[in-house]
Amino acid sequence: MIRFPHVPAALLLAAALGGCGGAAPLTFDLAALPPAGRPVAAGRSVVVSEPVGIQPFEADRIIVREPGGALSFLGGGQWADRLPRLIQTRIIQSLENAGRLRSVSRPGDKVAAEYQLISEIRAFDIQAATGEAVVDLSVKLVADGTGRVAAARIFTARVPVAKIDAGNGARALDQALVVVLADIVRWVSTGR
């Protein structure tokens, strides 16, 4: 057995484990809508909950929907955070950047709001059969305190993917999300 008396055991273990894996996956972020000039008159206040979805959407991996419906993870890439938390953050930032609401917050902020925006991730994947990135979110505005659904709508966008790899897939999903975010902001701000 070879001994290295001046090298800590933890450093040797880290070096040994470091050589076991492949290259680290690229990390991709999603964009919020940019700030829209001058704020409009203050509107409603909204608390944005973290979206829910099936288990594969709860991770930070980029998903490919294979022909026949099987889901797989796209190698070589991952999101900057768990997908639901990342989408929640971009919805909040997009609503804030629009400047049309009195306040936008998260449930943990303990800010009184007129409405809660709840959502479900129905699709956020690359569809291998069609070569498209698909973002499909079901969104509800729930009156705070009463639990009454004031409005509900499904927002969907599809963007072609040049090639099914991590970079192209993440870019196309980001573009599709921007379309959905613009529709959500308009809907929450104006009711249309």
pLDDT in tens, 12-71: 333 333 444 567 889 999 999 999 876 666 678 999 999 999 999 999 999 999 999 899
Number of separate domains in the chain: 1
Beta-bridge partners for 77: 26
Higher pLDDT, 142 or 1: 142
Judged against a pLDDT cut of 90, whether residue 184 lies above it is answered with yes
Q: What is the DSSP letter of 110?
A: -
Q: What is the DSSP letter of 153?
A: E
Report d(CA 106, CA 91) in Å as an integer: 11
In a domain, 37, yes or no: no
CB 64 within 8 A of CB 125: yes
**What is the value of pTM for the model shown?**
0.85
In a domain, 170, yes or no: yes
Judged against a pLDDT cut of 60, whether residue 187 lies above it is answered with yes
Report d(CA 109, CA 48) in Å as an integer: 10
In a domain, 67, yes or no: yes
Model confidence at 87, pLDDT cuts 50, 70, 90, reads very high
CA gyration radius for the chain? 21
pLDDT in tens, 88-114: 999 999 999 999 898 999 998 988 899
Judged against a pLDDT cut of 50, whether residue 128 lies above it is answered with yes
- Full residue range of the structural domain in which residue 178 is found: 49-190
Mean pLDDT of 78-93: 97
CB 75 within 8 A of CB 61: no
In a domain, 15, yes or no: no
CATH code at position 73: 3.40.50.10610
Mean pLDDT of 170-187: 97
In a domain, 31, yes or no: no
In a domain, 24, yes or no: no
In a domain, 80, yes or no: yes
In a domain, 33, yes or no: no
Residue 86 is which amino acid? L
pLDDT at 10: 38
